[in-house]
Chains A and B, each alone.
Chain A
Amino acid sequence: MMARIHISPKPDILDPQGKAVNSALHDLGYREVSEVRVGRYITLEIQPQPGQDSRARLEEMCRRLLANINVETYTIEIHEG
């Protein structure tokens, strides 16, 4: 199976990178863009072992390493097969 993890700065965290991208898009004429947040996208190829709860383990991976839950949020998508 494959897991896709999106990590974004929490809404109340100032994201200067997103601001810079936002103003670059405005410079290119895309005035309809009102806010940009830049995060990370991680893909994991997974061979689950019998009895393993893949989602619970992915949650754990996010909390322990992949995201800093003090300042970031994450979403996990699992694609079977």
Chain B
Amino acid sequence: MNFGIVVFPGSNCDYDVYWGLKNDLGYPVRFLWHRQRDLEGCDVIVLPGGFAHGDYLRAGAIARFSPIMEAVVEHARQGRPVIGICNGFQVLTEIGLLPGALLRNESLRFAHGPVYLRVENVQTPFTSGYQPGQVIQVPIAHGQGRYYAPPEVLAGLEDEQRVLFRYCDASGRISPEANPNGSLHHIAGLVSANGRVMGMMPHPERRMNSRLGGSDGLALFQSLAQAA
């Protein structure tokens, strides 16, 4: 079981993921440069956070045409896991592996700091290590994280229980105050219809070691490693 981290020019959370997977969890992990066309046999593909291609035009708009993305789409089509974190989530919506779009935060501010998330569905390869309704704390760091999808798409996501994480307060309560960016339905993370592609704005890779503020992100990568 190998994790592969795609590195775009402008990725800046690639080493965070690498460090956590390698040192905190002891999993085999490698970097995959965006110009290459094969995934070197990696089982789980991570699209990390950052500002791929400078976020020029729109976040993720240029990265989705990087040569490696064809292989990532094929990997997902085969039902193998792909996770996009922050900028990686934006790339996944731009390429159409996940529905909707991530727009400028309602506050217009860059939103950063720890937030609470409620785990909404644990029957997925990304969340099987959590308890239903568990509240976890992970940080966010984004200017464009306001999840938007048209009403019929949102209804479908809810019906199919594809919202995996929702912004909440420390007690798990959903409220506008606990929503850091104005995301519709307080969505922080969601999964594809086939359950194998997940995108989330918060950064689980920054919570993989209690010495670095917490370890609530570990279960996500452990779930993935078990599923892969």
Contact = CB atoms under 8 A, between A and B. Distances in A.
| B partners with A | yes
Contacts of A70: 100-101, 148-150
A71 B146 CA distance: 12
Contacts of B148: 13, 70-71
Interface in A36-81: 40, 65-66, 68, 70-71
Nearest to A38: B104
Contact of A65 (B61, B108, B146): B61
B108 A68 contact: no
A8 B100 CA distance: 17
Contacts of B105: 16
Contacts of A20: 108
Interface string B99-126: 0110111111000000000000000000
A17 B104 contact: yes
A66 B94 CA distance: 11
B182 A68 contact: no
Interface string A10-46: 0001101100100000000000000000001000000
B65 A16 contact: no
A44 to B, nearest CB: 13
A42 to B, nearest CB: 9
Tell me which of A13, A14, A40, A70 has the highest count of chain B C-beta atoms within 10 A of its own C-beta: A70
Interface residues of B, number: 19
Nearest to B61: A65
A13 B182 CA distance: 12
B57 A71 contact: no
B185 interface: no
B182 A14 contact: yes
A66 B107 CA distance: 25
A60 to B, nearest CB: 13
Contact of B107 (A16, A40, A65, A68): A16
A40 B56 CA distance: 12
Nearest to B106: A16
A68 B94 contact: yes
Contact of B101 (A16, A40, A71): A71
Contact of B57 (A14, A16, A17, A66): A66
* A-B pairs with lowest CB-CB distance, top 6: A71-B101, A70-B101, A16-B108, A16-B106, A20-B108, A68-B101
Given A13-B103, A40-B57, A68-B101, 5 more contacts: A16-B108, A16-B182, A17-B104, A65-B57, A66-B57
29 contacts: A13-B103, A13-B148, A14-B106, A14-B146, A14-B182, A16-B104, A16-B105, A16-B106, A16-B107, A16-B108, A16-B182, A17-B108, A20-B108, A40-B57, A65-B61, A65-B62, A65-B65, A66-B57, A68-B58, A68-B61, A68-B94, A68-B101, A70-B100, A70-B148, A70-B149, A70-B150, A71-B101, A71-B103, A71-B148
